[in-house]
Each structure stands twice: as C-alpha cells, then as structure tokens.
Amino acid sequence: MNARAGAEVLITGFGCISGLGIGAGAHDDAVFAGRSALRSSPVGEAHDAGARLAAHIDQFVAEDFIPAGKLRRIDRVGQLAIAACRLALEDARLLGGVDAWSSEIGVALGTSTSGLHTVVAYLDRLNAGGAAGASALDFSNTVGNAAASLCGIEFGLRGMNVTLTQREASAFSAIDHGASALQKGAARAIVAGGVDDFETLYMQVHDRFNALARDQGHGEASRPFDKRRNGIVLGSGAFLMVLERADSARERGVQSRGSLGAIAATSSSCDTHGWTDDPTQLIRCMREAMERADAAPADVAVVFASANSSRQLDQTEARALEAVFGPYGVPVVALKGALGEAGATAAAGIVAAAQALKRRIIPPTVGFGEADPECRVDVSAAARPLEPGRPAIALVNSCASGGGNYSVLIRG
C-alpha cells in the first residue's frame, strides 16, 4: 500500500502531558475552556533577559509514573515520554495483555530536545571540574533516541523504534513515519507523536537571538495571527497517540478517536533558522493532503494552524490558507497561543482536532485579540460551534523553521 495514499489508520488512544494538565481529558477540557499553559517560568526568571514567559509543566510528578529508583537514570524528556506513552497505551486498552503481538507494536517519537538537559548538565560539570567531574553514566541520556528507547523497554514494545527530529515539525515527522509503517504492514500499532522540554540555556539562546515574545506595552504573550504579535513563547509537553491498523482495532473491539485520513509533506525555501515568506509549498502541502483523502476545501470544517506568534510564519500561513480556502473561508485555530512553540506541540493539534470533530465545537485561539489586516483568516478568541452540515474533517498544519511543512487530514 502507498503509505501516503490514505489507507485507513485509526487513532485509538491519546496521552497528553503539558501545562494544561495531565491526561487527555484534562488537556481537552483546558483547550476548549481557553486556558493557557503559558506563565512566568522559573526558567525564564533564572536569567537576566527580556523574555520571562514559557509553557512550564508544573503539575507533572514523575514518581506517579516511574519508580523512584529509575528516575535518576532518566532524562526529563525521557520521563515525559514514558508517562505519556503509559497514558496513551492505557487509553487504547493496550497496556498489558498484548504480549502475543508486542513485537508488532512500535514507537515513533518526534523531538527536538531529547537529551538536552543531560547534555547541558554534563558540559557544566565538565567545564567546572574537568574530565573527573563528568560522569560517563550520563552518556545514555545525551543521545536523542533515548526517550523512545526507554518507552520500548518500559512497556515491552518490541516493534520498530525510531526517533525523528525536524525542529518544530518533529511530531508530524514521527506520525508520518509511523503511519507509513502501519500502511505497509510493518506494524500493528505505533505509539507516535512528540515530546519536548526546554531548560535555562535553551531559553537564553532563543532570547539572545530575539526570537521570543517581549512585553512591548501589551504584555508578554503568544499571539497567533494577532496584529500585536512579536515572537514565539517556548513550549513543552508530551502529546502521544496510538495509531493502529483498522483491522487490529476492530479485532480488539476498541473505539476509534478518529481516522488519520492523509498526510502530505513539502519543503519551502528559506534561511536555515528562519521562516519562509513564500506560501507556495504550504499551499501545495494542504492541497495534496486533501487530494489524497478525496476531500475538497469545502469539506474541511476547521483548520488547526501552525501559527506561532512570529511575524513571518503567521503571515505566510495566512496567505496559504487564503489561497486554499479563500479569505476568511474556514474557521482556524492556533493552539500555540496556549501551548507555545516546540517540536511536540503540533501533535496537540491532532488531539484537539479529534475532540473538536467529536464535540462539534471549535476551541478558542488563546492570545488572539486584535485582527491583523494582513492575515485574512477566520480566528476567534471564543469557542464556537462547527457549522451544521459540514463533514467531520479537520486539517492540521505543522511548519518548521528551515522550511519543512506537513499537513494532516483527520476524519472524525
């Protein structure tokens, strides 16, 4: 089967951990209530700079998911990954009792920060005390694939185990890879999505390059598509889902959360660390996703945008949406106003899209308040109902600095 042609892949479980709450239920309630995970972070307060706001996870207790004896050997991103993987497997009724085909369950994890905390701590000790001050035991946590490997070990998932990094689009790169494996018959189920966390040095670097939002008289905030937007806010979180072949889900009698209709990917030309100002390839990406799912623009009930409060990306995505759907032609949601920007955040769009189609409600865009006349998109700071009669179809975008684009079509 062609992995991108839209063979049926179901979503049978979600595992969510962020500043909005622990578990898919808490996450969903917070998203639809318009709550924000952004707050003045201890990380932001730890250095003298202009940006203080970040999506700090302050409710996560690792000991609730991982025995205390193991914790000291697991990096922060690994802890989040294991916990979210457990939640997703529980939600899909796959935790325990699948030993007979555990070799057919894999992990595809997207991350841009796995190993970051350990690398920084290791280098700090190395610089302070020389080779004797740094421990070789830290090495296993410095590699980017540690978090995915830990999930496989912890839950006995002996299928494919891969880690993909594509900056802000890392989660969708992993979901694409996992869906392709399912459609080719290489797995029965895949835990896929994104996990990311930041730390002080990471925030300092972003702030030094003036990438982060600042308080310029309006308050520091992430404001997707808003006229006052002036930079991103760093995000963090774990958003994993169980992707499963339809025949497997039916055999187990498990309820689907939604169908992964189609995935498309393109690449835009731009600076290595910048956002493109040309919407051409994002336009192509959205159209290809719809074509592969036999859907027309008029069939799409809502778009979950990649907009992250940067001046350039939001304007470029708005131009792409206008080209595909017409000016103000489809309701649009930008979750990064509540969750910030990270390689994992895009996967939260799939979680929210599935719930929006189920509830027939479009969640609000947190941070949006003053429309930008150069962004002619239908965004609202309030929740609103889906248009009656519209098919239960959502389109979710993810764009990475350096030019990567993904569009995923979700059917309710």
Phi-psi region of 45 (alpha: psi -120 to 50; beta: other; left: phi over 0): alpha
Among the candidates 252, 282, 309, a domain finishes at: 252
pLDDT above 70: residue 4: no
CB-based burial label for 383 (10 Å; 0-12, 13-18, 19+): middle
Instruction: Work out the pLDDT band at 350, boundaries 50, 70, 90.
Output: very high
pTM of the model: 0.93
**Residues 233-261 pLDDT 10s:** 999 999 999 999 999 999 999 999 999 99
Q: Provide the sign of the torsion angle of the four alpha carbons 386, 173, 282, 244, taken in this order.
A: negative
Structural domain span for residue 71 = 9-252
pLDDT above 50: residue 129: yes
Among the candidates 252, 286, 320, a domain finishes at: 252
CA-to-CA dists, residue 34 to 54, 332, 384, angstroms: 17, 15, 12
* Same domain, yes or no: 113 and 85: yes
Instruction: Work out the pLDDT band at 45, boundaries 50, 70, 90.
Output: low
CA angle centred on 252, ends 249 and 254, rounded to 5°: 60
What is the reported pLDDT for 3? 38
* Same domain, yes or no: 119 and 233: yes
* Same domain, yes or no: 211 and 123: yes
Among the candidates 208, 229, 252, a domain finishes at: 252
Flag whether 394 is in a domain.
Answer: yes
What is the reported pLDDT for 1? 30
Flag whether 3 is in a domain.
Answer: no
* Same domain, yes or no: 211 and 311: no
pLDDT above 80: residue 293: yes
What is the reported pLDDT for 6? 42
Flag whether 240 is in a domain.
Answer: yes
What total number of domains does the chain contain?
A: 2
**Residues 173-228 pLDDT 10s:** 999 999 999 999 999 999 999 999 988 888 888 888 888 888 777 788 999 999 99
CATH code, domain with 115: 3.40.47.10
- C-alpha to C-alpha distance for 199 and 71, rounded to whole angstroms: 18
Number of H helices, E strands in the chain: 14, 16
What are the structure tokens assigned to 348, written together?
Answer: 């939260």
